[in-house]
Structure 1
């Protein structure tokens, strides 16, 4: 479980971010900070894996929080910037401070989900301490590597992303067969979104639709994985 500290001076915004994070499988929010000083204190106390860090804080900018965390010899923690700041200087400071991603407000829920899934993938690649392959290193550093899902990303319908497609592909291939509702529960996606990804894999020839007839009503559409097995 990836532990997240939400840092934003607006209580309502922080609550929205908390809910978005906790909808993503494998993530949990361990606390919220309203100021930079509180963020530093809670990072030392709670030792989260990831900060969702705003730039505009009342006592010092989020980029200074990053700088102090890197210079202070404290607990190791990553930072995902979520902010309205969009000037090049701030983006450059965040990059130099080691931010894993930078999301500009306002954004939709799918954007944050994709960044979290990408971060989760990076942690998975580096978790075992072994020697990663070049393709793994390319993914960690944000370079495009055409996997079976990503190779057709250009042809994805609008609103679908490679990161969420990989998540659906993984769960569908493991389960063998799911309904849209079951897929939504496994992945944390909305049912409508889960069904769109499942239909995409049908179009790609990696899944097929099977109808399950009950005692009444319309038959249930179930998606059966016919692509290569995945770990």
Structure 2
């Protein structure tokens, strides 16, 4: 597998280290540097010219979307994955329109993170093939353009249901087949129990999840939510 160099731009060193460990758990990827602010990031990216940048949005000295535009203007060959707590639809739309490769919401789920890096590998492999081929065909074009980066339109979701948070809830449910209570799921995704329950009940109403009663260890009835319609 080709070796891809990843640069991390994150002002929280603890999160930067978590991201570094995640990157280095995926074969074919390594971290070439970490920057905690804009000056460090610009200086090191100009020198290292990484293949991929993991970029947060909220910084004391800059906005990650502005930094994304700077990368796009100065280094067209560098791809960017936003890794952020920002869940506003407008923020996602701006990131997509400025050419972000993917958008991952904190707290990061490793499997989701790994899938993105592997998708990046396949995409770059297809691009490299263009350099070797004298002609292209439709299959090659389709393999390059198959990444779905369409803007998420919120109109199909009811008020109070954010598409990015909904994706995170679904991801958690699909990874743990035994299901979650609203309280536990809220802790895992960084929301209140009430917010988690709202998303879970929405999935139940759409017949994308089921809710069963469990009495647990203290005899108190709890709703256990599982992905799928049973």
Name the residue aligned to 1:117: 118
* TM-score using structure 2 length: 0.59
Cα distance, 1:90–1:3 mapped onto 2, change above 3 Å: same
Question: Contact 1:2–1:27 at 8 Å: present in 2 too?
Answer: yes
Q: Encode CA deviations 1:27-69: one digit per residue, 9 max, x unaligned.
A: 0000001112321211101110100111112211111111112
1:58 aligns with 2:44: no
1:14 partnered with 2:16: yes
Aligned CA distance change for structure 1 residues 77 and 143 (closer, same or farther; 3 Å): closer
Structure 1: state its 5+ residue gaps. Answer: 145-157, 161-231
Alignment: residue pair count:
147
Q: Indicate the residue corresponding to 2:138 in structure 1.
A: 134
2:59 aligned counterpart, secondary structure: coil
- Which residue does the alignment assign to 1:180? none
Aligned Cα root-mean-square deviation (Å)? 2.2
2:35 alignment partner in structure 1: 33
What is the CA deviation profile of residues 128-185 of structure 1, one whole-angstrom value per residue up to 9, with x for unaligned ones? Answer: 22245434433433458xxxxxxxxxxxxx449xxxxxxxxxxxxxxxxxxxxxxxxx
Q: Gaps (5+ residues) in structure 2?
A: 149-173, 177-230
Change (3 A) 1:132 1:103: farther
Q: TM-score, normalised by structure 1?
A: 0.59
* Aligned counterparts of 1:83 and 1:137: Cα–Cα separation in 2: 31
